[in-house]
Amino acid sequence: MSVPVVEPDRYDEQLEAKRSRIVELFARFAAPAPEVFPSPASHYRQRCEFRLWHDGDELHHAMFEVDPADPKRKTVVRLTQYPVASRRINELMPQLIEAVRDNPVLRHRLFQVEYLTTLAGETLITLIYHRQLDEHWDEQARALEQRLGAAIIGRARKQRRVLTRDHVTEHLEVDGQVLHYQQVENSFTQPNAEIARAMLHWTRAVTRAEGGGRRPRDLVELYCGNGHFTIALAENFRRVVATEISRTSVASAQVNLAANAVDNAVVGRMSSEEFGAALDGEKQGQRVSELALETHDFATVLVDPPRAGLDEASCERIARFDEIVYISCNPETLAGNLEQLTRTHAIERLALFDQFPWTDHCECGVLLRRRAGGD
């Protein structure tokens, strides 16, 4: 990956370039003008990972700059600060180096560090090693927890040592309501908390019933992760069924449903393909029966797939629903999926979320509704 060059004075310029690209990319679908949600120009990433570079007695955070002309060539970039990362991560970077550099138990064969922080500054640090860890490491790592004011996890091959906890809890205020999210180490979470908040606001707004209150029909969410959208959208629908394949994320989503007192949503561990088969009555079993699909009346589907987007069969599956909310971290694959989805649905709303400033990447949101006569 490239190390982003952060120039706050030029933030609007890079955002406008993304907006123009999105307008051009989706023009063929007669999409409305995108609603644009800017990011903070710096210190916006709540999670980051770095290599730890050993140079004699010295120790540095590092990233690799890839030569675009020859991707096999990588240059080590040593970092003392990283303006992309949250202020809490930047505060901890020199403190961690100072604490570990002259401590042989913590430093020996340490090669990577991962930071996970929240807007309030709660922090989890994962130290990753090319050796097995023991009780001597535990003792030194507990002292490090006290010194840094952060939870510490140690990882090595087939080993994970959790000293205090394996998660942080993010609190996001959305439309005057504070939502609580457990975020577990080594599982997917939205990296840009301010943009995460904007995405929740937008998806709530586009699915809100006229006049407020809950819609009389139900929502199905695929790729729900830790319940990021599930929690925020539950109040807009009669009931919600959310699915996710990761055991860790499903467990975290269930914790988050309870933490937010959401009583009209259920999370099932299954793939989108398995859910489609269950909806068609082709798959049965305990996990399917727990969802009680026969009692639901689904009108809306929300998908937030990986960068590769959806395959043809998945697009066909979600096109059965009257309303589609599609969140995408790759506009190119979204455009490819829209070639299929716009045969039956029209784009009603389009949003650009600047999830990744100073890169070519951005996040998009699309609301599609079935055309009159669309099959």
Q: Give me 350's structure tokens.
A: 């389009």
Q: Tell me the mean pLDDT per 10 residues along the chain, length 375.
A: 85 97 97 98 97 96 89 91 97 98 98 98 99 98 98 98 98 97 94 97 95 89 95 96 94 98 93 76 68 79 93 93 96 97 98 95 96 77
pLDDT for position 282: 64
Q: Give me 331's structure tokens.
A: 């506009």
Tell me the C-alpha distance between 69 and 188, whole Å.
31
pLDDT for position 262: 98
- Tell me which residue has tokens 């904007």: 198
- Tell me which residue has tokens 């990011």: 39
189-198 exposure pattern, b = at least 16 Cβ within 10 A, e = fewer? bbbbbbbbbb
pLDDT for position 10: 96
pLDDT for position 333: 97
Please state the length of the chain: 375
Q: Is 228 assigned to a binding site? A: yes
Q: Give me 345's structure tokens.
A: 């649905």
pLDDT for position 3: 83
Q: Give me 311's structure tokens.
A: 């395959």
- Tell me which residue has tokens 């403190």: 95
Tell me the C-alpha distance between 190 and 174, whole Å.
15
Contacts of 91 (CB under 8 A, 6+ apart): none
Domains, the chain, ordered by start:
8-41+187-370 (3.40.50.150), 47-168 (2.40.50.1070)
Residues involved in catalysis: 329, 363
Q: Is 108 assigned to a binding site? A: no
pLDDT for position 1: 53
Neighbours of 233 (CB within 10 A): 25
The Cα-based distances of 145 to 55, 169, 298, 318 in angstroms read: 25, 17, 47, 46
pLDDT for position 374: 66
pLDDT digits (tens, 9 = 90+) for 277-326: 777 766 676 766 667 677 778 899 999 999 999 999 999 999 999 999 99
Name the residue among 361, 339, 375, 356 with its Cα closest to residue 31.
339
pLDDT for position 272: 78
Q: Give me 139's structure tokens.
A: 């003792």
pLDDT digits (tens, 9 = 90+) for 204-232: 999 998 888 889 999 999 999 999 999 99
pLDDT digits (tens, 9 = 90+) for 255-283: 999 999 999 999 988 887 887 777 776 66
pLDDT for position 42: 97
Q: What is the identity of the amino acid at 291?
A: L
The Cα-based distances of 80 to 74, 85, 353 in angstroms read: 19, 12, 29
Q: Give me 207's structure tokens.
A: 């699915």
Q: What is the identity of the amino acid at 112?
A: Q
Q: Is 166 assigned to a binding site? A: no
Tell me the C-alpha distance between 27 and 352, whole Å.
14
